[in-house]
Amino acid sequence: MLIPIHMEEGSGGSMQHIVLKQGLVVVAQGSVATVVQCLPGLLVEVLFQRSKERKTVNIDEIEVLPETTDENLKLVSEMVFARAEEASIEEYQLAEQRYDILKRYMAGEIDQEKARQEMNVSNGIFYKLKKLYEESAGPISLLRLKRGRKIGQRTLDFNVEEIIQQAIREKYSGKAASLAAVWRRVEELCLAGDLSVPARNSVASRLKDLPARDLHKKKHGAESASQNYGARPGKKITSLPLEHVQMDHTLVDVILVDNEHRCPLGRPWLTVLIDIHTRVILGYYLSLHHPSTISVAGAMTHAALPKRKFLQDMGLPPECYPFFGVPKVIHMDNAKEFKSTKFIKACVRNNIKPEWRPYGAKHYGGHVERLIGTIMTEYVHFLPGTTLSNVVQRKGYHSEKNSALTFKEFSRWFAGQVAIYHGRKHKAIQCSPKAAWESCFTNRAEGAIHPPLLENPWAFRLDFMPEETRKIHPAGVTLNNRWYWNPALVPFIGLSNVTVKYDPFSMATIWIRLDNEYTPLYFSDMTKSDYSYEEYRASQIGRRGRGGVPVGGLEDPTLVDVIKQNDDLVKESIQKTKASRKKEAARSEYLDSNYYEQLRQSESAGAISNEKDSGKPDYTKKATPYARRTK
């Protein structure tokens, strides 16, 4: 915003327009000041030179110095303003003392020698101060000038400046981007162009001149730059629990072992839901496989339903995890398992609104991201077998060698740590998540209340349960190498592609869809104990890790040589057969040729003449077939 101020040069003279802009020296409220910026509403922000105070004044409180013209505006507004900005209080006080002495000298009250002695300067300095003295500008006109190059002034050749920018574009890119790489490229280009090589510090200063976000983007990519330098206006405001829940996956920073031989299995995956109003972990699911619809189904049912049986299996009291409920909005990233048709339909049927964050905008899931970071750094990184966050932190620590927890043991440990997390004071809400949750479900008149219960929890579980298709055999239905049976299957034996649903937390019972209704199936072997789906998969991984032999596999390794001998025998037989067939084909071609026919006739004629001469046949020669004479 520019505000023109009209000045009269004299009676009857023309009117001059002075534009208020940054750096213009004015008199504001009777004191010398410098314009910082113009504000709406005819207001101007100024910097008072004596007190160094910034203040907003009305435009009618500003007077323009009469000596200031368009021609010397640059001199006053840039040089004097720059000196005033850089000067200290002591320098300003000294300039003020000298200004008062020079003002008395200019008025003829004291002579030059007296003024020089009072200022305690040499004749040369006195003349310089006298030259700088400007009554209208006040004491700031006598502020000492800084020697040396001005800030920001460049002295390199224009071509060298262009080369530096070219080197930055070419070499400051990717994780390996560095000042050293840029400077080496500058050196190479300058030597090739017969130009002076600039100092390393000069190249570094050009890099520093670039915006920090641009440098970060060149080195770490656009997504990382957005996360570190992008705007984060506002925040999600909620008034009650279950209004807004965030869900995400993460690979846990610890290596687990198998149950039998305690050999390393790998790192588990965690799918977690957090209520952002109370920071409560509403539900979660642990898996040894990459996140899938099973992970999502397990986490959703764990979050929505009471967890009494789960806590009993984990050896924990029910009061340590009383949180449950169906969220109104669930916010996720764009993973395919979060966008599956089955999942979206299940959400719609249960009045859950699914939302997905914009691509590349991780900060939209900031609450669950921070929760995952807290779980890793404050809990998991202290476990045996932890992988920590990166190789630098892990230096000198052998994660696989120190791994000790099985999947089941880790599941019990994690359930306990979740309970501990709920009892610790949270920085963002200034109380523990459990206290925040209880305060929302406490009524002064009625006391404690509970989250709304599902009218049909069974239907909710079925909606989110993972499913597979199976064939109904005379022995029942098989799933995870277990047989399931119910007498209701008898009329349907032989039916294929039948939908089977199961609860990942408890595989003792599965449900099969027959005539548009779900019928429970139970273990055919009643001696089998219940297990979770992830425990089954952990045992499968353990068998593969121990070199378990699948059906049809070779259990006796000494037979490998026999297998090789058999293969070699077959290869040799094939080669012999090919050679014999080639030889027979060549012989057949020879017998069918004209040359062979002529040779045969000549041999036959010779044999007949010999027989006539000897009077008896020559049995050492091949018999000649009878050939009818032709005319």
pLDDT tens per residue, range 217-252: 888 777 666 656 554 444 566 678 888 898 888 888
pLDDT band at residue 9 under the 50/70/90 scheme: very low
pLDDT band at residue 112 under the 50/70/90 scheme: confident
Q: CB of 472 within 8 A of CB of 493?
A: yes
Q: CB of 373 within 8 A of CB of 361?
A: no
Overall average pLDDT of the 588-614 stretch: 63
Residue 590 located in a structural domain: no
Q: Is the pLDDT of residue 42 over 80?
A: no
Dihedrals phi, psi of 58, to nearest 5 degrees: -75, 155
Residue type, 272: V
Return the ∠ at Cα 273 (arms to 269 and 279), rounded to 5°.
125
Q: 382: Cβ–Cβ under 8 A, 6 or more apart, which residues?
A: none
pLDDT tens per residue, range 244-274: 898 888 888 888 888 777 888 888 888 889 9
Q: Is the pLDDT of residue 16 over 60?
A: no
Q: Is the pLDDT of residue 12 over 50?
A: no
Q: Is the pLDDT of residue 619 over 90?
A: no
pLDDT tens per residue, range 62-80: 777 654 444 444 444 445 5
pLDDT of res. 401: 79
* More confident of the two residues 589 and 153: 589
Same domain, 285 and 410: yes
Overall average pLDDT of the 462-470 stretch: 85
Same domain, 262 and 319: yes
Residue 479 located in a structural domain: yes
Residue 172 located in a structural domain: yes
Q: Is the pLDDT of residue 291 over 60?
A: yes
Same domain, 306 and 424: yes
pLDDT of res. 227: 58
Q: CB of 261 within 8 A of CB of 243?
A: no
Which of 152-156, 168-172, 336-340, 446-450 holds the top average pLDDT? 168-172
Q: Is the pLDDT of residue 6 over 50?
A: no
Write down which residue in 96, 115, 142 finishes a domain. Answer: 142
Residue 100 located in a structural domain: yes
pLDDT of res. 626: 61
Write down which residue in 142, 169, 198 finishes a domain. Answer: 142
What does pLDDT average to over the chain? 76
Please tell me the total count of domains within the chain. 4
pLDDT of res. 604: 65
Q: CB of 286 within 8 A of CB of 311?
A: no
Structure tokens belonging to residue 420: 């501990």
Same domain, 116 and 212: no
pLDDT of res. 68: 42
Overall average pLDDT of the 286-290 stretch: 85
Same domain, 29 and 177: no
pLDDT of res. 53: 83
pLDDT tens per residue, range 357-381: 775 555 444 666 777 777 777 777 7
pLDDT tens per residue, range 174-216: 877 888 889 888 988 888 888 888 888 888 888 888 888 788 7
pLDDT of res. 429: 79
* More confident of the two residues 64 and 517: 517
Residue 289, exposed/middle/buried by CB under 10 A (0-12, 13-18, 19+)?
A: middle
Return the ∠ at Cα 548 (arms to 547 and 553), rounded to 5°.
105
Same domain, 222 and 189: yes
Residue 606 located in a structural domain: no
Same domain, 341 and 370: yes
CATH number of the domain that residue 321 is part of: 3.30.420.10
Write down which residue in 89, 115, 142 finishes a domain. Answer: 142
Residue 259 located in a structural domain: yes
Same domain, 357 and 388: yes
Q: Minimum mean pLDDT among 58-62, 135-139, 286-290, 531-535: which range?
A: 135-139
* More confident of the two residues 389 and 97: 97
Residue type, 447: G
pLDDT of res. 85: 55
Q: How many residues are there in the chain?
A: 631
Overall average pLDDT of the 499-519 stretch: 86
Residue 187 domain boundaries: 158-229
Same domain, 224 and 257: no
Same domain, 272 and 404: yes
Measured from the Cβ of residue 21, the count of other Cβ atoms closer than 10 Å reads 14
Q: Which helix (H) or strand (E) holds 181?
A: helix 179-192
pLDDT band at residue 484 under the 50/70/90 scheme: very high
- The terminus-to-terminus CA distance of the chain in angstroms comes to 127
Structure tokens belonging to residue 594: 């004209």
Overall average pLDDT of the 484-506 stretch: 88
pLDDT of res. 73: 40
Residue 212 located in a structural domain: yes
Same domain, 108 and 136: yes
pLDDT band at residue 14 under the 50/70/90 scheme: very low
Kindly report the pTM of this predicted structure.
0.49
CATH number of the domain that residue 208 is part of: 1.10.10
* More confident of the two residues 186 and 382: 186
Share of the chain above pLDDT 90, in %: 2
Q: Is the pLDDT of residue 313 over 90?
A: no
Q: CB of 281 within 8 A of CB of 273?
A: yes
Same domain, 266 and 405: yes
Residue 599 located in a structural domain: no
Q: CB of 386 within 8 A of CB of 253?
A: yes
> For residues 328 and 233, what is the distance between their CA atoms, to the nearest angstrom?
24
Overall average pLDDT of the 496-525 stretch: 86
pLDDT band at residue 473 under the 50/70/90 scheme: very high
User: By three-state DSSP, how is residue 397 classified?
Assistant: coil
